[in-house]
Structure 1
Amino acid sequence: MTGFFHETAFYGTDDDFLAHAVPFLEDGLRAGEPSVVACTEYNTALLRGALGRSTVLYRPGADQYSRPCDAIATYRDLFREHTDDGARQMRVVGDVPHPGTGASWDWWARYEAAVNQAYAEFPVWGLCPYDTRTTPAEVLADVVRTHPNIAAAPGTHEVNPGYREGLAGSPQLPDELEEKPPLVDLVAPTASAVREAVGAAISGLELSEDAAHDAVYAASEVVTNGLTHGVAPVRFRLWAHGSRVVVAVSDRGPGPTDPLAGLVPTTETRSAGLGLWILHRTCDYVSMGRDADGFTVRVSVGGQT
């Protein structure tokens, strides 16, 4: 096997989940392949019960990582460790968070698209099963779009005709704080003007020192990115309440087309790629999307309202 084989499967009962996952893992074990379970606690318990005393490796599921970039970094280290030890193929069954499990979907949708490149150097067969009882329809549509392969029924492994290279297709969703007028609304501001405005706007909030620093840095970085790589006019807005801050920066450009943008570090540019990655590592949520008016980056910092 060469490279990353990215496959999805849909199931509607626990038995269906096991029918997909158990033979997949057992076939890997019989072939001497490191076989990994990285699922929710519930699905991990199902697999432990079905597999008994097997040598399957159990690792935290993606739901244990607050950020997709952290999951990518951890899994790349895991894959590199085993391939450096001589593994010619690995198998992984892993769940991905989504609104049905209480997670925001935008950056996990980008994760599913990004791993086609992020794991491409490793001989890994990854199976991403989704529970149709809890997964929203728009998430299922993105799953089809981001997986080159699909197990339409247990034991089958087919090329997915619905796969499309690039970003997932679901629309970006505004934050609930955006239901009110922004506290700051600037057009074509300098980064220094944004830092000053943000500092003044959040001075009375219940933010920790680290969160306040992250909010100012995020605002400055996203505006700089828009001014450098976007299409004028660049608009900056900020909403805040209690211990949470949301900033949105929009421009008239198309935005990045690379699913990896922000999810892995890059040195291809001096600011944009690395800056977006730092935002993804430090902020509580980063959303990027296009609509009829252009491209918007939304960043959330701090606790929930």
Structure 2
Amino acid sequence: MRTGAAAGHVGYFHTAGCFASDEDLLALAVPFLMDGLASGEPSVVALGERHAQLVRAALPGGAAATFLPGGAVYEKPAAAIRSYRKILAGHVADGASQIRIFGDLTAVTQGVTWDWWARYEAAINRAYDDFPLWSICAYDTRATPPAALAEVMRTHPRTALPGGRHTANTGFTDPHRYLSEQPPPAPDPLQSGAPTVQLIDPTLSEARQAVRTADRGFVAPEEVDDLVVAVSEMVANAQRHGHGPVRLRLWSGSDRLVATVTDSGTGPKDPFAGLLAVGDGANGGLGLWITHQSCNHVAMYRDADGFTIRLIAGNPHR
């Protein structure tokens, strides 16, 4: 049986919780978690270290909430979805009729990589909708940029308020429509200069070698290996599902490698591709999903040149 504000709701009850002080954070987290524990519901906390310490200290001793390392959970959006779905499936298999999660994204994720976390917040409306989940996604208004908060209101159907109240977000946008928008991301500063390598219609072997050529030894070898695979997958996708010519460009910096693959097509038809494993991989869905698991930042967008996917290995936060 569902309890609290989610009583009678089927599927994912997805809420944002904005707070401007430590007291506001605890007013959101503690009653939410305590009510869940009192009802015998698995209650999960995934917060940054400081916020986790505040919430842990405010709960009674012995409270059975499960604390996850927020920084590890929210390393990459597609990996977070995969991990949470495994956790949720386990609780449902154990008989849970409702699961509660209280989590936050760090200030780092709300910087230049916010675009794919905003896509995450939209995509999980579908990704978790086959579970009896109620979550509060906590956002610290002292650290979250106004533009990111505006996207929070578009990706969450409702906002949680202290005292257990909820308000509908009038700006909430259907996830399919939201994910279909795909505006260009903020340019990486490296892209203001000439590419280290630029190829037109490369073979897959040439694409893989191009990444090796651009690598100057500043990025961890395993991350370079992941980028080699990702670039190869995206060039293959462009050749198979897009329209030529296919252009591969790579830039190398002191802490990262940036790659873009552009073709004159329109990109994947399914806007959830990449964040969710799409069927049998039709139209590049499986390759995009693998790429989102392995790269440190992925952005997809359409402009006058066609469809572009940008991949970053190393430090995406520059």
Q: TM-score range by the shorter chain?
A: 0.7 to 0.9
Scaled by the length of structure 2, what TM-score is found? 0.84
- Contact (CA 8 Å) 2:12, 2:131: kept in 1 or not? yes
Residue matched to 2:153 = 144
Residue matched to 1:183 = 196
Q: What is the CA-CA distance between 1:125 and the residue it aligns to?
A: 0.3
Q: Secondary structure at the match of 2:69?
A: coil
Residue matched to 2:170 = 161
In the aligned structure 2, how far is the partner of 1:293 from the partner of 1:183? 20
Residue matched to 1:299 = 311
Q: Secondary structure at the match of 1:47?
A: helix
Please say which of residues 124-133 and 253-262 is displaced more in the overlay. 253-262
1:126 aligns to 2:135 (yes or no): yes
Out of 60, 64, 76, the position equivalent to 2:69 is: 60
Please say which of residues 267-276 and 37-46 is displaced more in the overlay. 267-276
Q: Secondary structure at the match of 2:116?
A: helix
Q: Secondary structure at the match of 1:59?
A: strand
- Contact (CA 8 Å) 1:111, 1:259: kept in 2 or not? no
Please say which of residues 37-46 and 276-285 is displaced more in the overlay. 276-285
Residue matched to 1:3 = 11
Q: What is the CA-CA distance between 1:135 and the residue it aligns to?
A: 0.4
Please say which of residues 289-298 and 73-82 is displaced more in the overlay. 289-298
Out of 255, 258, 271, the position equivalent to 1:246 is: 258
- Contact (CA 8 Å) 1:62, 1:71: kept in 2 or not? no
Out of 28, 33, 36, the position equivalent to 1:28 is: 36
- Contact (CA 8 Å) 1:172, 1:290: kept in 2 or not? no
- Contact (CA 8 Å) 2:112, 2:186: kept in 1 or not? no
Q: What is the CA-CA distance between 1:289 and the residue it aligns to?
A: 2.6
Residue matched to 1:111 = 120
Out of 27, 39, 49, the position equivalent to 1:19 is: 27
Please say which of residues 113-122 and 232-241 is displaced more in the overlay. 232-241
Q: What is the CA-CA distance between 1:147 and the residue it aligns to?
A: 0.8
Q: What is the CA-CA distance between 1:206 and the residue it aligns to?
A: 4.3
Sort the Cα spacing of 1:100 and 1:234 in 2 relative to 1 into closer, same or farther, 3 A: closer
In the aligned structure 2, how far is the partner of 1:11 from the partner of 1:234? 46
In the aligned structure 2, how far is the partner of 1:281 from the partner of 1:120? 21
Sort the Cα spacing of 1:294 and 1:190 in 2 relative to 1 into closer, same or farther, 3 A: same
Sort the Cα spacing of 1:22 and 1:209 in 2 relative to 1 into closer, same or farther, 3 A: closer
Out of 182, 192, 197, the position equivalent to 2:210 is: 197
Out of 225, 250, 257, the position equivalent to 2:237 is: 225
1:73 aligns to 2:82 (yes or no): yes
Sort the Cα spacing of 1:214 and 1:271 in 2 relative to 1 into closer, same or farther, 3 A: farther
Q: What is the CA-CA distance between 1:32 and the residue it aligns to?
A: 2.2
In the aligned structure 2, how far is the partner of 1:163 from the partner of 1:231? 34
Q: What is the CA-CA distance between 1:207 and the residue it aligns to?
A: 4.9
Q: What is the CA-CA distance between 1:164 and the residue it aligns to?
A: 0.8
Please say which of residues 165-174 and 11-20 is displaced more in the overlay. 165-174
Sort the Cα spacing of 1:250 and 1:89 in 2 relative to 1 into closer, same or farther, 3 A: same
1:287 aligns to 2:296 (yes or no): no
Sort the Cα spacing of 1:171 and 1:131 in 2 relative to 1 into closer, same or farther, 3 A: farther
In the aligned structure 2, how far is the partner of 1:118 from the partner of 1:174? 29
Please say which of residues 205-214 and 16-25 is displaced more in the overlay. 205-214
> 2:185 corresponds to which letter in structure 1?
Q
Q: What is the CA-CA distance between 1:62 and the residue it aligns to?
A: 5.2
Q: How many residues align?
A: 304
Residue matched to 1:173 = 186
Residue matched to 2:106 = 97
In the aligned structure 2, how far is the partner of 1:232 from the partner of 1:191? 15
- Contact (CA 8 Å) 1:195, 1:220: kept in 2 or not? yes
Q: Secondary structure at the match of 1:219?
A: helix
Q: What is the CA-CA distance between 1:196 and the residue it aligns to?
A: 3.8
In the aligned structure 2, how far is the partner of 1:2 from the partner of 1:200? 52
- Contact (CA 8 Å) 1:90, 1:123: kept in 2 or not? yes
CA-atom RMSD in angstroms: 2.6
Where do 5+ consecutive residues of structure 1 fail to align?
none
> 1:183 corresponds to which letter in structure 2?
T
